[in-house]
Amino acid sequence: MRRPLSTLLTGTAIAGLGLFHSPVQAAPGPTVPSVSASASASASASASASANTPAAINGRLKVCGVKLCNQYGKPVQLRGMSSHGLQWYSRCLTDGSLDALAGDWNADVLRISLYVQEGGYETNPREFTDRVHQLIEMATARGMYALVDWHQLTPGDPNHNLQRAKTFFTEIAQRHRGKTNLLYDIANEPNGVSWSRIKSYAEQLIPVIRAQDPHTPILVGTHGWSSLGVSDGRDETDVVGDPVRASNIMYTFHFYAASHGREYLDALDRASDRIPVFVTEFGTQEASGDGPNDFGRTQQYLDLMARKKISWVNWNFSDDHRSGAVFEPGTCDPGGPWTGTASLKPAGAWIRDRIRTPDAFPTS
């Protein structure tokens, strides 16, 4: 999500690729909803009893060539949802909503979107880190992968948050390195910065993570709001020609179908033949995360990603007023209903239908 300086007072931006979302009214300080011990224990026991969850079937993931592969060395495609900013929509991430995401939507992955600025991590590192710990455990209990998203946005140079990222990911990796259902996304949407600066950031942060967790795949944002440079008038050749010097990594790509047409689709197609790509964020609507949906163009992207086993995460699992949030406004405060389609906007019903048709995860 991105926000140019010209929109600091409005909280909404449309500029090439990404977007910045804030609630219609600013929410009070971050709150961590309580999760009943009995509900968590029940979910954990249920997940442990089942060998049919995505994380149980696929185990620890690893980058193999240009694909994301499971414990059997077979390419897989994960499909799931991203949270909205935890400082605004933490109330949408409950036992009930995540039960629905795992059991009714059949999602493989939850992207935990931790904004760094915009009222996020930097305002209370301890509280936000604890909330991420909690959400990792909640995703794990339900057999989903947990994609930890360091949602830097403004300023767009990730080096501004390098020390914060080292502190955060050191703790996350140290505590959860024994888990086999993790992914680390270390730079959400770099913008206004060259690929060389992003690469430098990644090459300083990745060794810090690897010192704690040698195995979990790490995802690296690309220039132009993670458009592989397309939103900057560049293309994927910057990354292909000068890749990050590290192993078991992927590069991220974001798109919003009503704003990003053939040029973006073609870049994703070309790049995914040369480098491992994970679409960590997309929407069916405009780059603001709002406006009319373009389901036809989105389906073109989904068809390409299915054919090439490119994993994806949709923005976003909240009740924000914009068309890109899956739930109708007011769904989260009373606690649902979470299952079925009665509480979903058109984009929510459409994307749920696509997530519910799972990848045939190969095991041999």
Q: CA–CA separation, 235 vs 84, rounded Å?
A: 28
- Residue 88: which residues within 8 A CB-CB, separation 6 or more? 21, 22, 23, 27, 119, 318, 320
Count of CA atoms in the C-beta half-sphere (13 A) of 77: 19
**Does residue 149 contact residue 82 with C-beta atoms inside 8 Å?**
yes
**Does residue 149 contact residue 188 with C-beta atoms inside 8 Å?**
yes
328 a catalytic residue: no
The gap from C-alpha 231 to its chain's centroid, in whole angstroms, comes to 19
189 a catalytic residue: yes
Q: CA–CA separation, 304 vs 302, rounded Å?
A: 5
Strands (E), the chain: 62-64, 67-69, 79-82, 109-115, 145-151, 182-185, 218-220, 249-256, 277-283, 312-315
Given 118, 137, 189, 286, which residue is catalytic?
Answer: 189
The gap from C-alpha 84 to its chain's centroid, in whole angstroms, comes to 10
Burial of 333 per CB tally in 10 Å (0-12, 13-18, 19+): exposed
Query: DSSP 3-state assignment of 88?
Result: helix
**Does residue 16 contact residue 287 with C-beta atoms inside 8 Å?**
yes
Type of residue found at 241: G
**Does residue 236 contact residue 264 with C-beta atoms inside 8 Å?**
no
Q: CA–CA separation, 7 vs 28, rounded Å?
A: 21
Q: CA–CA separation, 144 vs 53, rounded Å?
A: 7
Given 118, 137, 236, 281, which residue is catalytic?
Answer: 281
Positions annotated as catalytic residues are 189, 281
